[in-house]
Amino acid sequence: MKQMDADIIVVAAGLSGLAAAIAAAEKGASVIAFEKAATTGGAANMGMGPLGVGSRKQREQMVALTPGEAFRKHMFFTHYKVDARLVRDYYFKSGDTIQWLERMGVQFVGVQRAFGAPEATRPYSDGEFTWHVVRPEGGGVPGPRAASAMIKAMTEYALDLGVQFAFETPVKEILMENGEAVGVRAVDKTGEEIECTGGAVIIATGGFGCNPKMIQEETGFEFGKTIFNFAVPGMEGDGLKMAWAVGAGKTPCTMELMYQLPDNMNHFILDGAFRQPCLWVNRMGERFMPEDQIGNTTFTGNAISVQPGKVAYAIFDEALLEHYKKNGPDIISHVHPHDLFDHFDDMWERDLAAGYEPIAQADTLEELAQKAGIDAAGLRRTVEDYNRCCEKGYDEIFEKDRAYLQPIGRGKLYCCRQNVGAYGSLGGILINHRTEVMTKDYQVIPGLYAVGTDACNIFGDSYPFILSGNTMGFCLNSGRIAGENAVDFALVEA
């Protein structure tokens, strides 16, 4: 058994943990961060950037949104069913946090929104320009993983400040004494146990996206059956379990929903190709949302999650495929290649030959319904109605944007099943606006803090895409808030 000690102990060195460690070290505390993986950043290595409101960058781009307005938008979106004080503190800090990162050497391309709603639906679902996308070193167009430049700058800055990282050394337990968190027990990769004592412990382990059992128990979804979420290795819910074990209050957990094909990374072309406003139906063959909205992955994920079997089917025909090939996709996502349809035929033939189960091709609607598992009569009725709407140029059911009203039935039919997807889990540990962990009776557990997705209880039932960059934004700012408060606590204690 090895003994260590530090003023502040951070459990996991993802984005939230890094922010917490840096904030604490800036205030002069000694900090140890225990990390299960071999490097820092966790899931944030795949991201592109955080939310910030009221940053200099934003103002320079003539975006006038204020933290107070963002706060109100967020609270309307969540119907005030979340901790308003925590939300307020988060947004009011988020602008300064962008400058804080810039001082570490992080550069931002500018502010973006993740999703622009069609004109007709703008008042209900438009995104704000809050997403600060990290500039790749040396310039160029940022793509997925752009945020890893931010992780590097933060890690180097943390090392400069004297933060100690213990890699491949998962924390197993929070050590308590007289109701206070006083340290952790960790195990390194050789199996040696480490007992580290400290003034405060900050939990930042990133939820349970890689733990099917917890997903089932906490959210009711069945991994690989009713949900196909990112299962970033290591996200096993360690922090939640450890916090609950020492008496932390439990909040409802959600999955950060979107939608995707099963095993979508190996079928990425098809994943993008069917993310188009063609005809979308459920298992009964009925339309269930205006397809012009399917670029909004949060709403579409939600909508699929309430259909029978939690599945939907995107259908287009040969003529529409030709249209996509010629003009490019109707909806362009920032994750899929923009030349999707150049590769469509190759991928489609390969996956069809390999028996990739979510896809089907047919010459008639009946054949398609039978192959895909859709109710044939329902589909027949829907297509008849839908084609009539296309002819009239007006969707009587959902008032779908008429630019996308293309009849179905010209040549071969292509169908792809869409499943509920998710990024990871959200929430679980009850905290206050100082990110202090509380018991179920709202009593603060002294010395214990929880941040990032482990404690992200502020989204309500859905990711607030209207203020994009929110997942990373909350991770960064909650981490920063925790680091500062924890030092105050630890120094007062000492």
Partner 1 sequence: MKLWIDGTEVTAQVGQTVLEAALAAGIYIPHLCYHPDLHPQGGCKLCVVEIEGEDQVVTSCTTPVREQLRVVTKSPRLAQLRKASMELMLAGHPGDCTGCRSFGNCELQAMMQYLPAVANGELRTFRRKNADWPANDPLIVREMERCIQCGRCVRACRDLRGVGILDYHHSEGEMYVGTEKNVPLLDADCRFCGACVEVCPTGALQDREGIFRKDLPREQALIPCQAECPAHIDIPGYLYAISQGDYAGAVDIIREKVPFPLALGHVCTAYCEKGCKRRGLDQPLAVRDLKRFAVEHDDRQIWRSRHVPFSSTGKRVAVVGAGPCGLTAAYYLALKGHAVTVLERYPVPGGMMALGIPAYRLPREALMGEIAEITAVGVTLKTGQNVTSITELKEDYDAVLAAVGAAQGKRLPLAGANDSQCVTALEVLRSVSLTGSHPLLGPGRRVTVLGGGNVAFDAARTALRLGAQVRVVCLEDRDHMLADEEEIVQAGEEGAAVCPGRHNLELVAEDGTITALRTERITGFRFTPGGLEVDPVPGSEELFPTDVVVFAAGQKSDLTPAFGLPLNQWGYPEHNGCATAVEGVFTAGDAVTGTKAVIDAIAAGRDAAREMDLYLGGDGCIDPPPAQRKQKDPCIGKQEGFARLHRTHAGVRDPEARKGCWDKVDLGYSKEQAKTEAERCLSCPLRTQIGVSELWTAYLPK
- The contact set with partner 1 (CB under 8 A) reads 36-43, 45-46, 134, 136-138, 140-149, 151-152, 155-156, 159-160, 165, 167-168, 187-192, 230-234, 263-266, 268, 335, 337, 343
**Minimum CB distance to partner 1, residue 305 (Å):** 20
The Cα 137–Cα 490 span in angstroms is 37
Burial class (CB in 10 A: 0-12, 13-18, 19+), 370: middle
Q: Where are the beta strands (DSSP E) in 372-486?
A: 413-426, 436-438, 444-450
- Closer residue to partner 1, CB minimum distance, 115 or 157: 157
Nearer to partner 1, 421 or 460 (CB): 421
Query: In this complex, which beta carbon is closest to partner 1, that of residue 75 or of residue 146?
Result: 146
Beta-carbon contacts of residue 26 (< 8 Å; ≥ 6 apart) = 161, 483
186 or 369: CB nearest partner 1: 186
- Rg of the chain in Å (alpha carbons): 24
Shortest CB 88 distance to partner 1, Å: 32
Provide the residue type at 306 as one letter.
V
Tokens of 35: 């990390």
| CA 316 to centroid of chain Cα atoms | 29
Nearer to partner 1, 233 or 355 (CB): 233
144 vs 220, which CB is nearer to partner 1? Answer: 144
Three-state DSSP class for residue 447: strand
**CA 369 – CA 13 distance, rounded (Å):** 48
Least gap, CB of 280 to partner 1 (angstroms): 24
Nearer to partner 1, 263 or 488 (CB): 263
Which pair of structure tokens corresponds to residue 293?
């909205």
Tell the smallest beta-carbon distance from residue 440 to partner 1 (Å).
26
* 230 vs 288, beta carbon nearer partner 1: 230
Quote the DSSP letter at residue 452.
Answer: G
CB of residue 185 to partner 1, shortest distance in Å: 13
Give the Å distances, CA to CA, from 217 to 94, 183, 252.
33, 29, 11
Q: Least distance from C-beta 438 to partner 1, angstroms?
A: 29
CB of 233 within 8 A of CB of 164? no
Tokens matching residue 298: 């949060």
Task: Kindly state the DSSP code that residue 379 receives in the 8-state scheme.
Answer: H
Least Cβ distance, residue 37 to partner 1 (angstroms): 3
- Which of 39, 121 has the CB closer to partner 1? 39
Beta strands in 192-263 (DSSP E): 193-203, 228-229, 254-260
Residue 43 CB, shortest distance to partner 1, in Å, is 8
Q: How far is the CB of 39 from partner 1 (least distance, A)?
A: 5
314 has which bridge partners? 280, 416
Q: How far apart are CA 110 and CA 61, in angstroms?
A: 7
Q: How far is the CB of 340 from partner 1 (least distance, A)?
A: 12
Q: Which of 43/201 has CB closer to partner 1?
A: 43
Residue 301, burial from CB neighbour count under 10 angstroms (0-12, 13-18, 19+): buried
In whole angstroms, the minimum distance from the beta carbon of 489 to partner 1 comes to 28
In the complex with partner 1, which residue's Cβ is closer, 95 or 237?
237
The residues, any chain, with a CB within 8 Å of residue 22's CB and separated by 6 or more, are: 104, 154, 157, 158, 161, 163, 480, 483
- Is the Cβ of residue 46 or residue 444 nearer to partner 1 in the bound state? 46
Instruction: Report the candidate in 313, 290, 281 with the shortest Cα–Cα distance to residue 397.
Output: 290
| Spatial distance between the Cα atoms of 106 and 84, rounded to a whole number of angstroms | 30
Please give the single-letter amino acid code of residue 125: S
CA 123 to chain centre: 23
Q: What minimum distance in Å lies between the beta carbon of 174 and partner 1?
A: 18
